[in-house]
Chains A and B, each alone.
Chain A
Amino acid sequence: MSERRMAINRLRERLPVDGAAVDRFVSRHGSPIVEGERATFLFRGEVDGVSVRHRVVGLPDPLEMRRLEGTDLWAASTVLPEGSRVEYQLETRRGEHHERFNDPLNPRVAHSPMGSSSVCAAVGYEVPEWVHHDPEARPGDLHEEVLRSKALRRDQSVHLYLPARFNRAMRYPLLVVHDGTDYLDFAAMRTVLDNLIHRLDIAPMVVAFVPPRDRLKEYPNHAPHARFIARELVPRLTEQLPLLDAPEGRCLMGSSFGGIASLSTAVRYPGLFGSLLLQSASLVFTDIGFEHGGGPYFDPVVKFVNRYRARPTRPVERMFMSCGTYEPLITPNRSMVSVFRSAGVTVNYAEARDGHNWENWRDRLRDGLSWVFPGPQKYVYE
């Protein structure tokens, strides 16, 4: 798509235009306008300035919009490679007053524990079909249990997923998911599990969704948290359920700080888990000094990752890692692949043109889970 042929530039060439023409333009194109590898964001209103706010590494943030002369229409265009998915908000300025909100012209919204964002999907991006409810997929059972944890000195809630057709005569692998309720609420993980098991893409598995209480304290290499997972949760579930009682049958999973919680737990208890599934793990480190720029919450993360990098170990046999190419963590994640491999871990590393968000993590679930616990497709010949 050449710059001249872009819809917004064709409108600019027609200036001046009246309000009705702008109405028709907005109504026809909506926002953002995705044309080839370009995206144009729009806003209408009487303000002093508007910008697109996002966290895409490599693009200017804020991305200032320009007003089309003589109209109340604002626009900003940027490059958007095929397959990209970007979450963003708009920020207006009226005098000294700034306001941030979702794009009112864009109905597509993604949710997270921090609220919601507008979504700009490039050409080539499609929400995977296995994310949506499939009436043919028999649902697994999800129920909450509360464990008394000596390690954490409190009751800990765990949401347990048992696959459809759960049968005590079978043996199931165990997946422990950090930020468990967020994965259920924002990554549709219950539906994803039902669908992928139904499609034979992944093995029927037991999944323990574990929510944190004080995430920023418990997830960056916290001994009581690791003890809870390794010495309380896993033994209890192994006793209670027909699980594969071997490292190959256990996987720890998490995104962002949850990835650090997974890795640090595995490092503290090497050999207990066979695999890790890390999504956009906060693998921040420094090569010299300790200025990491992540703020105080990242201090224990950086200490842990620096220590690991100095003496890498092989806490698990296999590791699936994914990261969005538009997030700041892309560089540390890429860097750590070779470190893990050098320690003897078999690493499957995947990237996507997406950011640090739950839909990115949702979209990578099939690749990750089917690699960690492959489904029985090879056995079924209908």
Chain B
Amino acid sequence: MATTVLLGPQRFMTTAGSTLRALEVQGPVATITAGWEEREDQDDELNQVLDGRGRNLRLYHRMFDVLDKDDGFAAAALAFRDRHDELQSFYRLRLDIAMQGVYAVQRRTSAHGTGAVALADAVEAVRRLDEWYSARLKDLYRELDAQTSAAESEVISWHRGELAGMLADSAALVITGGHVGTLLRALRLFALPIGEDLPVIAWSAGAMALTDKVVLFHDHAPQGSHEAEVYDRGLGRVPAVIALPHARRRLRLDDRSRCAVLARRFPHHRLVLLDDGTSVVFDGGGPRPGAEGGHAAYGALPHGVRVLTSDGVVQEVLAP
């Protein structure tokens, strides 16, 4: 497996160029800026950072080309989105209430040890809810796939063919941040054949898309649900990791109890903080899942990476 690098946000501290140069690859670099949505093509600055080697795959524009030209797919995609929206609204409703329960249990004093058991069970209930959502989403995808065969769509096939060619000619792939939902939709639609031998650099939403579980979070949004929520599966190139871009800005990291609950919801994943200047380099594949509830996977993460532990503290992974 070629190198995969997850970077922190690139807005204030640009490290993508030096990261690419460190990989010592020659040739064009495929870029995915679909998360920027209609600003997808405004990639001059990115291209400069990549020493002028960038080749934008334009997945966002291609996605709208498909929606324009393939009525059957467009109708199915719209119906899927409506059903997904509804699923999310029920999930959020239940999640908010379940999390209120967790925090209430967490706050309650316990003189005889019942509190810890009650908290573990309350968190387990949230885990089951997360799993319920993921399972239902999987069903929705299955139903979508049954309705529409991407392989039978002329326009989708055409785009997929062209993208495969572009990727085959590329020495590396760069995936930027942006709207993670839009990015995942585009990646899924075109089923990019990202070969194991193709080095990948990604940041923010792009980094999230490379993992196998994308979790949305924002403790400081003005209103709405503030609880972290499972959104979708990513590409799974970096498994057993939940990427938390802008963690310092978006999470109340000083609220240890709250952070502990977040980490305990995902015992099979390492919660990796991707702040400005962060660079997580995976050589020869990503980390493997640890034992249930344990920390066995720590060693699989490069040392120096900052993770959120089940105690709710931020800890650097130490060298083995």
Residues of A within 8 A of B (CB): 165, 169, 171, 201, 244, 248, 348, 366-367, 370-371, 374-382
Contacts and interface: CB of A to CB of B under 8 A. Distances in A.
Interface of B: 9, 11, 35, 37-38, 64, 67, 74, 78, 81-82, 85, 89, 177-182, 204-205, 208, 216-218, 221-225, 229, 231, 245-246
B179 A379 contact: yes
29 contacts: A165-B38, A169-B74, A169-B78, A171-B81, A201-B221, A201-B222, A367-B222, A370-B222, A371-B223, A371-B224, A374-B222, A374-B223, A374-B224, A375-B224, A377-B221, A378-B216, A378-B225, A379-B179, A379-B180, A379-B181, A379-B182, A380-B177, A380-B180, A380-B205, A381-B178, A381-B180, A381-B205, A381-B245, A382-B177
Nearest to A372: B223
Contacts of B179: 376, 379-380
A308 B217 CA distance: 39
A246 B82 CA distance: 11
Contact of A375 (B64, B216, B221): B221
Contacts of B224: 370-371, 374-375, 378
B177 A370 contact: no
A48 to B, nearest CB: 50
B223 A382 contact: no
Given A379-B216, A382-B11, A367 B64 contact: no
Contact of B223 (A171, A244, A370): A370
B64 A169 contact: yes
Contact of A378 (B81, B177, B204, B218): B218
B204 A382 contact: yes
B33 to A, nearest CB: 11
B178 A380 contact: yes
Given A374-B221, A380-B180, 17 more contacts: A165-B38, A169-B64, A169-B74, A171-B81, A171-B85, A370-B223, A371-B223, A374-B224, A375-B222, A376-B181, A378-B216, A378-B218, A378-B221, A378-B224, A378-B229, A381-B177, A381-B245
Central interface residue in B208, B218, B224, B225, by most chain A CB within 10 Å: B224
B177 A366 contact: no
A234 to B, nearest CB: 18
Nearest to A373: B224
B217 A378 contact: yes
Contacts of B205: 380-382
Central interface residue in A367, A380, A381, A382, by most chain B CB within 10 Å: A381
B11 to A, nearest CB: 6
A248 B178 contact: no
Nearest to B231: A379
A273 B218 CA distance: 28
B244 to A, nearest CB: 9
